[in-house]
Amino acid sequence: MSCGVYLLHFEPGLPVTGNRVARHYLGWAADVDARLAQHLSGHGSPLLAAAVRAGATVSLARTWTDTDRSFERRLKNRHEAPRLCPLCVECGHTRGRGLLTPAPRGRRQRRVARSGLTWPA
């Protein structure tokens, strides 16, 4: 697979603090398939390594191809991984809120901050 942003979903989730449970990992890779193999072998993210050790099932929930790291950062800054995940929307982890479908920059019109005006990209 080509470069892009990927969303991994693991079930059961990994308890992190209090009543919070981590169920997602969002990342970017030049080769998503190779990076996924790294994660599953325990040589990727410490969060995923802990989830695999705990016996979680890791699945590739969604990909955005031909995107860059700035798009990954935009998605991470939203803090809405469950709404980006079709598996969580389907099973109700989003409390009825629907699936988000963000578009990479440059494919829609850009907006001027706070004014609401737009101009062609």
33-46, pLDDT tens digit by residue? 999 999 988 888 99
Domains of the chain, residue spans: 4-119
pLDDT of residue 83: 85
- C-beta of residue 69 within 8 angstroms of C-beta of residue 28: yes
Dump the DSSP string for 15-70: E-STT-EEEEEEEEESSHHHHHHHHHTT-S-HHHHHHHHTTPEEEEEEEEES--HH
The residue-averaged pLDDT of 77-89 equals: 87
**Euclidean distance between the first and the last CA atom of the chain, given in angstroms as a whole number:** 28
Identify the three-state secondary structure at position 75.
helix
Chain position carrying tokens 């942003």:
5
